[in-house]
Amino acid sequence: MNYADTHAHLSDKAFDSDRAESISSAVNLNVNVFFEILCSPKDWDKDILFLNYKENFYFAYGIHPEYAGEYSNQDLIKLEEKLKGNKSVFLGEIGLDYYWVNDNKEKQFNLLRNQIKISERLPMPCVFHCRNGKNAADNAYADLLDFLKKEWNYNSTNKKRGILHSFSGGDDDAKRALDLNLYLGINGTFTYPKNKELREIVKKAGPDNIVYETDCPYLPPQSLRGKRNSPSNIPEISYEISSYCGFAFKESAEKIYNNSLSFIK
C-alpha cells in the first residue's frame, strides 16, 4: 500500500537538521510521493534541496496570500518560468487568508487574480489556501469560491482542477468546492476532537473526492499535538479517516493515492 503527501513544507527550517532522515522515514512507511509546496519567492529555489529525490518529489510554486503586499511583477515572471519545469505539478499555494492578514483583502484579491491568469495560460492546476477570519463576516471560503466560480477559466484534462488544501470550511463550502472540481485536502486536523463537522464532511465526500496531506511541519494528528508534523504521519491520518468514515482501508487508501497521482505529468 502506497501513500502520497500532497502538501508538505519539507524545505522549512524545522527540517534543517534531519531533512534526509525525515524523508527516508516516510519512504520506509510507503509514503513515496511528496508534493513540496514553495509559496514565497524567496523559497522557490529551495527545490534544489530535493535533487537527490527526483523520483519522489514534485513541486508547487506560488505566492501565499500573506505576501500579497510584498511581491513584484518580476516575481510573477519568475513564477511562470518555475511552473514550466517538468517536476512542477501545481500553482500554489494561493488564495485568501482572513485569519492572519485580513486587513489587506484587496491586495489578496489582486494577487490571486494575477496568479489565476498564470494558471489559465500554462495551463496549470492550483492548490488553494483558504482560512476564515475570527469574525463571521470575514468569510474567506465564500469569497474564494465565489471568485473561482466567476473568474477561474482553467479547464483540466484531468477531472479535477486542483486541491482546496487543509479544508476547514462547512458543508456548503465542501459542496461548492466539489462542484468546482477540486479535491479536499485532508490532514491531521481531521483527528482533532473539535472537528466533528469536518469528519462528517469527509465521510460524505468519500475517497473519490479527497487527498491526504500533512502541511508539515504544522498540524500533526491529535496523538502528536505540540510536536513537529512530518510525512511519516500520513499512514496514521489514512487509518483515522478510514476508521471513522467506514471506508475499506486498503481500497480507500489506494483510491486516494491514485487521486494524488492523477496530477503528475
The confidence score (pLDDT) of residue 265 equals 65
63, 67, 65: which is closest to 79 by C-alpha? 63
In tens, the pLDDT along 97-115 reads 999 876 789 999 999 999 9
Grid cell for residue 231: 510525512
What mean pLDDT do residues 81-97 have? 97
Q: What is the DSSP secondary structure assignment for residue 190, as one 8-state letter?
A: G
**All residues at 6 or more sequence positions from 42 whose CB lies less than 8 Å from its CB, including other chains:** none
Q: Are 89 and 125 spatial neighbours (Cβ–Cβ below 8 Å)?
A: yes
- The model's pTM: 0.97
**Residue labelled with grid coordinates 534526509:** 20
3-state secondary structure 106-165: HHHHHHHHHHHHHHHHCCCCEEEEEECCCCCCCCHHHHHHHHHHHHCCCCCCCCCCEEEC
What mean pLDDT do residues 195-199 have? 98
In tens, the pLDDT along 111-151 reads 999 999 999 999 999 999 999 998 888 999 999 999 999 99
Distance, CA of 106 to CA of 85 (rounded, Å) = 30
155 pLDDT above the threshold of 90: no
The confidence score (pLDDT) of residue 102 equals 66
Tell me the domains of the chain and their CATH numbers. Answer: 3-261 (3.20.20.140)
In tens, the pLDDT along 208-218 reads 999 999 999 99
What mean pLDDT do residues 243-257 have? 98
In the sheet that 126-131 helps form, which strands lie side by side, from edge to edge?
Answer: 3-8, 31-38, 57-61, 88-97, 126-131, 162-164, 182-186, 210-212
